[in-house]
Amino acid sequence: MKTLRRTVPNTVSPFLILPAVTLACLLPFIGKAFHIDDPLFVWCARHIQSAPFNFYGFNLNWDGCEKPMAAVMQNPPLTAYYLALVGLVFGWSEMALHAGFLLPALAVILGTYCLARNFCSHPFAAALAVVATPAFLVASTSVMCDTMMVAFWVWAMFFWIEGLKQNAPVKLCLAGLLIAACGLTKYFGFCLIPLLLVYSLLERRPVSRWIACLALPVVVIILYQWMTRRLYGTGLMLNAVSYATHLRIAGGLGLKVLTGLAFSGGCMVILLLAAPLLWGRRELAAGVAAMLLIGLLVVAMKKVGVFPVMEAAGRIKWLFVTQFALFAVAGVSLVLLAVADLLAQKTPASVLLFLWVVGTFVFACAVNWTVSGRNILPMLPAVSLLLIRRLEARELFRGRDSVRRLLGPLAASLTIALFVTQADYRLADSARAAASFMSRKLGAGANTVGFEGHWGFQFYMEMFGAKALDKQNLRLVADEAIVIPLGHGYLFRLPEDSVVPWFTHKMQASEWVTTMNVSSGAGYYSDAWGPLPFVFGPVPPDVYFVCRVR
């Protein structure tokens, strides 16, 4: 491939530049508070250190009542084992664990670069396009399983494609092991099996040379199901599949697809910013018309899921409508990129990219229980490859300085991604700060402290000695203080004759951009909070209501 000469100076290696850019973007957030589902992975990792062969063998109160961890956790344990190793070596502080998760983030970027050399002539630009997205930066500032799963995914795909081309059994076997690791990091990773099966058949390589390697992760699935059934009474993978398909957020398929398009376009906002390079005048005019139509549709619907498009006074929330229409059109362009590449190329590679993108999109919208940025993330490397392939097909990448055409969209996308990541950082930190405030204020003014809510707020409240209330076994103590984070899920009503209001406390995270806020329509981690992954605009503060037991 004539890759490096076209994308970076001959004297500078992309294996130096790409890690440097990635670390420069992620290191400012290395002290981020544990957020959303981070505590589940941390608690599991701590348990693994004392019981390594019974990874989910403990109970916890996560959704308002005590349950076995095996019933709460809907992800496999490999990320928790990695966290246990990091915690053993470097300690359990936020900074130490986030530092450990820089390695999977770097693996995603370098893996995308290596994989891209099989798909396009400008792999350096493809890898940069991944870095400069909100989906990648937000995911890589957590200790959840998503970034690690994508890292295993891209490297498994790289070694599989190389192994097929070179007829190298060692690489194919390594790819099979990486697929298994990918699936044991997040169950969606096992989707690599049918994806690479189709690709291998289209490449028309002798089946006998690769089928055993692709069967290896299938064996791992069977063993994992058998082992977890013996440990916990149910096979955890099939249990997670049942959970994902049966616990559905309200909304029909049409609404889910529309929300999925908006999530895809927002998480990969570079598609919107690079639209003048990707499409001709007719396509751009059609995109503007589609944006207007989507905006009018949203206004006519009056609600997108649970989010009202009109304020109480009857005024339309035009700022939200505009962002939704822009992101949804960007999401449509993502699908069109995959279709256009498939129709133009008609190669096994184009089929692979098409199935990669469309399969992830269908899972996020029609299969999984909620649409979220975490579920959009796995398609990110494929989208970056389609982006570069489209620019090359339009002959916009020519000569040594061709990548400069993309610098403007890359810089703008990276700026937006950093603002969004900073907002998510501040949102996580606000929960930690609120828990600290409550511990100081209530420590001497109440008999005991209980709370509702979960996520990072639960982690820090328990760290400060408070207890999570169990709605099925509610035990209130006289003069006990109860803290209720009004923006959280799994809240339940307390007996009105047992408690009296005490005070409210407000925490302002970010004032003009947010990733999770019901009032703003932002629901990066679940569209139950809002139909956009992030929203620019005024953000109300988070409210913590404190009452006292009579």
The pLDDT score that the predictor gives to residue 6 is 44
Among 66-70, 478-482, 540-544, the minimum mean pLDDT is found in 478-482
The pLDDT score that the predictor gives to residue 246 is 61
Q: Identify whether 542 is part of a domain.
A: yes
Domain tally, the chain: 1
Q: What is the mean pLDDT of residues 504-531?
A: 90
The pLDDT score that the predictor gives to residue 368 is 81
Q: Identify whether 395 is part of a domain.
A: no
- Is the per-residue pLDDT at 109 higher than 80? yes
The pLDDT score that the predictor gives to residue 305 is 81
Average pLDDT over the chain reads 89
Q: What is the mean pLDDT of residues 57-70?
A: 90
The pLDDT score that the predictor gives to residue 384 is 95
The pLDDT score that the predictor gives to residue 488 is 79
Among 216-230, 295-309, 319-333, the minimum mean pLDDT is found in 295-309
Q: What is the pTM of this model?
A: 0.92
In this predicted model, what pLDDT tens digit does every residue of 23-38 receive, in sequence order?
999 999 999 999 999 9
The pLDDT score that the predictor gives to residue 448 is 85
Structure tokens at 399: 């000569």
Q: Identify whether 471 is part of a domain.
A: yes
- Strand pairing report for 449-451 and 467-468: parallel
Q: Identify whether 408 is part of a domain.
A: no
Q: Identify whether 203 is part of a domain.
A: no
Q: Give residue 460's domain range.
A: 429-549
**Phi/psi of residue 374, nearest 5 degrees:** -65, -35
Alpha carbon separation from 421 to 292, 415, 533, 543, 548 (Å, rounded): 29, 10, 12, 22, 36
* CA angle in degrees (0–180, nearest 5) for 121-124-130: 115
Q: Identify whether 222 is part of a domain.
A: no
The pLDDT score that the predictor gives to residue 516 is 92
List CB contacts of 533: < 8 A, sequence separation 6 or more.
134, 135, 262, 263, 266, 267, 327, 372, 373, 376, 515, 522, 523, 524
Q: Identify whether 487 is part of a domain.
A: yes
In this predicted model, what pLDDT tens digit does every residue of 476-498 receive, in sequence order?
888 888 999 987 777 888 888 88
- Is the per-residue pLDDT at 11 higher than 70? no
In this predicted model, what pLDDT tens digit does every residue of 244-273 receive, in sequence order?
666 655 567 888 899 999 999 999 999 999
Q: Identify whether 200 is part of a domain.
A: no
